[in-house]
Structure 1
Amino acid sequence: MPSSPLPPFIPASVAGDELNRLHNQRVLWLEEIESAVVALRTEYPDGYLVPRHRHNRSQLLYALTGVVLVTTDAGRWMVPPEHAIWLPARVHHAVEMLGTVSMRSIYIAPHARDALPMHLHVVALTDLMRCLIVEAVTSDDDPPPGSREALVISLLLDELRNLPEQPLGLPFPADPRLSALCRRFVEKPSPHATIDEWAAALAMSRRSFTRSFQRETGLSFSLWRQQACLFAALPRLADGEPVTSVALDLGYDSVPAFTTMFKRMLGVSPRFYRSGMLAQRQAPSL
């Protein structure tokens, strides 16, 4: 497929009007290209902000490395490792890079496949889908029917239906002061942070803070705190760190307490998740 106007590697020096111009060109290019499915690779530096935009294609956004913060009119979502976010067509969104991000995006036209999801949500990637995404972005040409590249795209569209939706995206508030508190918490999470501490930091009453936090994030403070702790744990467990050290570093009084939270949020124990991630990384890739 033809090259996108936006280069695969974005230097930190590109910003402001030039960044907006490049991304506007990409949006126009996505609208004009005939391919039903477009797979793109882009490398972003830490702190990079893709400006607010929308396109007439749905997008499966996957950070192969790094973490992304996606902002839409419905809220702000941090996507955990080994997951992706599904952005339906015509949804306004901006994307902020937290750390150096190696992004893989699959843009899918509405006519590419029946019954594409219509709501924004976070999905867990299967091993097969992860490999298909990596393969798809290596194809430079519009694949002819029956070719290996065309079969990869067809299987990718089929596998899209098998991706389990997970209530994991971490919503971020739009209020700058509250957002700053949330960012600091994500950098150093603790299960012992309290509503009273955060309310005092914002010079708010407990009741006002509770209402404001729920309104801004759609979650209670307790649930948001648990999800933030989970996000901090996932990459460390995937790297093979012992469950005990992860639990204690995050401030849990015991491994069983951490395990209870983890199973409630993700449906499996941290030891099961850790062993699964290690097995996945050791398996030969396509």
Structure 2
Amino acid sequence: MTWETIEAPHGLAPPNPMTVRAQSIPARHCFPEHAHCWNQVVYAISGVLTVTAEGSSFVISPEQAAWLPTGLRHRVGSLLGAEFRSLWIAEDAGDGLPAANPTVFGVSPLLKALIIEAAEIEGEEDRDGYAGRITHLILDQLRRARPLPAALPWPRGGALAALCEALYADPADPRGPEEWGLMLGMSARTLARRFVAETGMSLRSWRRRMRLFRAIELLGGGLGVTRTAMELGYGSTSAFVYAFRLEMGCSPQTYMRGRREDGGVRVQSLPDGISVAIPQSSTS
């Protein structure tokens, strides 16, 4: 299936020091590759974004955002749809902001709330300085943001991107490298070699991490543990809970309870260079 193009906005004034744009991205839609004369924070309050920049592609969840520096050519879209929030930040917004290269970082509950509020009041007259204070708090939060080693890697295009799209849309798909290789017109060995070359990890490891990524997305969207286990293709709820606990160090219930009750977030690095944000109270 092909992706549809979203027309990029025209005629907008440069940020001074920040502009927030809110937009719904339909499934399988993306902005064409482009660059800005200002920095950009790419974020979705719900759904998952696919970001292509500097020769690599990755997906980020609502617990992650991407910093794209001035002049970097990039493309942003969503496979399943997302509520997109884009922060345009002026070059002279101040010291201490992320480096002049693309960076993925964890989004705290506070930063998410500030971004939502900034989008709500964007364009209103700032008579009492409230909008300015929100902007300064967001910039302070960006200065404190903790970079993550990587998001979920994604092939740039072609057959392997189609494979990842299919597995992401249907994590329960049971087909292995042999079946996928036959469908994509290559041997299982060739598929495995190309997948590692493009993503830096094996297809098996990628699928495991993708399932964890989707689990966090589905649970965060309000889906119950049993339904999430079914959507991901686990044979039973207990199998899903075991796999989740093995990777995250806590049960899905504890993870979600911690997200609701605690605003603090710590970052846990998993094998294969993937990191996820975990509420600080999720220790059991």
Residue equivalent to 2:176 = 194
Compute the displacement of 1:233 (Å). Answer: 1.3
1:216 aligns with 2:198: yes
Greater shift, 201-210 or 149-158, is seen at 201-210
Report the counterpart of residue 127 of structure 1 in structure 2.
109
Paired letter, 2:55: A
Identify which of 35, 40, 53 aligns with 1:59: 40
Aligned 1:50-129 pairs, distance under 5 A: 50-118=31-99, 119-129=101-111
Q: 1:141 to 1:184 in 2, by over 3 A?
A: same
Determine the structure 2 residue equivalent to 1:11: none
- For structure 1, the residue ranges without an aligned partner over 5 or more in a row are 1-13, 282-286
**Is residue 2:122 matched to residue 1:139?**
yes
The CA distance in 1 between the partners of 2:137 and 2:83, in whole Å, is: 23
Displacement of 1:255: 5.1
1:206 paired with 2:188, answer yes
Alignment match, 2:232 = 250
User: Partners of 1:39 and 1:185 in 2: how far apart?
Assistant: 32
Q: Percent identity?
A: 32
TM-score, reference length from structure 1: 0.76
Amino acid at match of 1:222: R
**Which residue of structure 2 aligns with residue 3 of structure 1?**
none
Structure 2 CA distance for aligned equivalents of residues 268 and 124 of structure 1: 19
Indicate if the aligned counterparts of 1:240 and 1:274 stay in contact, CA closer than 8 A: no
Report if the CA contact (8 A) 1:84-1:124 is conserved.
Answer: yes
Aligned AA (1:54): A
Tell me whether 154-163 or 186-195 shows the greater mean CA deviation: 186-195
The answer to whether the 8 A contact 2:44-2:82 is kept is yes
- Larger % of helix: which? 1
> Which stretch of structure 1 is more off in the superposition, 178-187 or 102-111?
102-111
**Per-residue deviation, 1:93:** 0.7
Normalised by the length of structure 2, the TM-score is 0.76
Equivalent-residue separation in structure 2 for 1:41 and 1:242 (angstroms): 28
* Aligned match of 1:23: 9
- The answer to whether the 8 Å contact 1:77/1:172 transfers is yes
Residue 235 of structure 1 and its aligned partner are, at CA, apart by 2.8
Q: Is 2:48–2:61's contact at 8 Å kept on the other side of the alignment?
A: yes
Structure 1, residues 231-259: CA drift from partner, whole Å, max 9, x if none? Answer: 32123212444434423442234556534
* Matching of residue 275 in structure 1 with residue 275 in structure 2: no
Q: Name stretches of at least 5 consecutive residues in structure 2 with no aligned partner.
A: 264-284
Residues 258-280 of structure 1 deviation map (CA, whole Å, 9 limit, x = unaligned): 34543565565422222234447
Deviation readout 1:48-98 (Å, 9 max, x if unpaired): 321111113221122123332112233222222333222222221111233
Mapped partners of 1:176, 1:67: distance in 2: 20
Residue 252 of structure 1 aligns to a residue whose secondary structure is: coil
CA distance in 1, matches of 2:102, 2:205: 20
Query: Are the aligned partners of 1:47 and 1:99 in contact in 2 as well (CA < 8 Å)?
Result: yes
